[in-house]
Amino acid sequence: MGAMTEPSPWWSRAVFYQVYPRSFRDSDGDGVGDLDGVTAGLDYLVELGVDALWLNPVTVSPMADHGYDVADPRDIDPLFGGIEAMDRLIAAAHERDIRITMDLVPNHTSSQHPWFQAALAAGPGSAQRERYLFRDGTGPDGLLPPNNWISIFGGPAWTRIVEPDGRPGQWYLHLFDPEQPDLNWENPEVFEDLEKTLRFWLDRGVDGFRIDVAHGMSKPPDLPDMQIAENRMLADMDSDPRFNHEGVHDIHRNIRSVLDDYPGAVAVGEVWVYDNAAFAAYLRPDELHLGFNFRLVRAEFDAEEIRDAIENSLAAVALENATPTWTLSNHDVEREVTRYGGGALGLARAKAMALVMLALPGVVFVYNGEELGLPNVDLPDEVLQDPVWERSDRTERGRDGCRVPMPWRGDAPPFGFSTTADTWLPMPPDWAALTVERQLADPESTLHFFRRALRLRRQRGGGSALTGLSAEGGVLTLRTASGLTCVLNAGERPVELPTGEVLLASTALAGGQLPPGAAAWMV
């Protein structure tokens, strides 16, 4: 019998566009973006050339962590337009051949979820409490938390409750905000409910999920103390029992077996696991289809560092013959224009890095506003909303600066994002120069550059394997199986380009030379 070659799934070289729904476009004038706003922006996204959307959480939520605290996973929050708005978005996106993926938050719920409310009311030892991680305290009268775990947002990962009889009672675990209690994944009801959620959205036409904290969920049963070295979500410390516990893989297998009932459905996990073998374990054929790899986000603008990040990411997925993913930014990290130095320098480097990313094999994630070259915004204390700000006793400013709404048109805030100037985060007046409208009128704009890059990527078989990767003298060179060469100058001086035709450059080229902080695609 001849070998059968499976056709590649739709996502294998896709460009995903991450929509932070609060900040994309507001259709009803309340200052917060919503799903009808996303629908209204679909033609813009078609012109940009994306294949799929990843929507940050839009399900019912008190918004303590802007939707990552889910009170009802099978309905859309009225703030975002309710379930009809989701149905309209799915239909309108599919008409345009754009797939829709949703954020799924299985590690925790909102403290307003009926399950948690029932757990509080039912008391210690009840079946209701068994859906979460309630424990008695330690020390005299249970005054101290059950172990020393700390929350990713700062402070202890445990909060003590008041029992129904009014007495101080048990503690519950929350790796994030106290309003995000961790679920007990040892309890079969938890997966049963997740399965309902998966099928609910897949049956409505959703094409897949981004799985939040996909290396969380499972916890060691005895909840041993952690060694408090550095509080971060990246599980690169064997001594951190909060993440990457082996039980997590059964959960992914169970999720996968549901997705497999829906041909084409994809799951991409947020897997902050540093070790290549441990990371690859999430991409075994019966687990996640894709895992976010954050090495490129963490790399400085340095040819060797970037090369190492790429090599490492490729080596990790190669262990399971899985598809690599790439991203330069998202709603949790400082925008790359700012990371790479800010101003004209940061923007030039961000565009150069976009050409590197879009030349890489596999799947790419572009975060809304990246295509406009938006920088991070320095917001005044009084408008900060990220729970990180208060939880860290106002020492960490949190992630609001990368979540400021998109500027669409006009000369003053809210720049067509909304009809009210009172947007959920204030928009900087100098974004007048960065609006979609302005950039469409300027053929040299960042937006036109992204459109050209995405079009060329598609036309030229982008996302195909690398045949060469080197870093020398501050210059990074990639060659792809489809015949593209990408050269990045991360050094200090202009460099000669190899002979060939320049398809696209991130900046104007002077006499065949590539300036510092620039990249070019060549054939």
- Report the alpha-carbon distance of residue 275 to residue 283 in Å, rounded: 13
User: Residue 407: which residues within 8 A CB-CB, separation 6 or more?
Assistant: 372, 374, 413, 415, 416, 417, 427, 431, 432, 434, 435, 436
Cα(73)–Cα(514) distance, rounded to whole angstroms?
50
CA 437 to chain centre: 26
Which lies closer to ligand GLC via its Cβ, residue 292 or residue 301? 292
Of 403 and 457, which has the nearer Cβ to ligand GLC?
403
Tokens of 272: 């902050």
Which is closer to ligand GLC, CB of 159 or CB of 435?
159
- Other beta carbons within 10 angstroms of residue 473's beta carbon come to 10
Q: C-alpha dihedral over 63, 65, 66, 68, to 10 degrees?
A: -100
Minimum distance between the CB of residue 334 and ligand GLC, rounded to whole angstroms?
Answer: 14
Which is nearer to ligand GLC, 34 or 212 (by Cβ)? 212
Q: Determine the Cα–Cα distance for residues 487 and 495; give it in Å rounded to an integer.
A: 10
Report the catalytic residues.
212, 270
State the nearest-atom distance from the C-beta of 229 to ligand GLC, in Å. 20
339 or 391: whose CB is closer to ligand GLC?
391
Q: In angstroms, what is the minimal distance from the CB of 280 to ligand GLC?
A: 20
Q: Tell the residue number behind the tokens 């590197």, with chain if given.
A: 356
Length of the chain: 523
Residue 507: DSSP 8-state: S
CB of 67 to ligand GLC, least distance (A): 9
Residue of minimal Cβ distance to ligand GLC: 68
Binding site residues, ligand GLC, CB under 6 A: 65, 68, 105, 176, 212-213, 270, 331-332
With tokens 């979500």, the residue in question is: 233
> Torsion over CA of 441, 446, 451 and 454, rounded to 10 degrees?
180
Please report how close the Cβ of residue 332 comes to ligand GLC at its closest, in angstroms. Answer: 5
Looking at the DSSP bridge assignments, the partners of residue 519 are: 488
The enclosing H or E element of 23 equals helix 21-24
- Report the greatest alpha carbon distance in the chain: 80
Q: Give the number of other CB atoms < 10 A from CB of residue 257.
A: 11
Select 252 or 331, whichever has its Cβ closest to ligand GLC. 331
Least distance from ligand GLC to the Cβ atom of residue 439, Å: 27
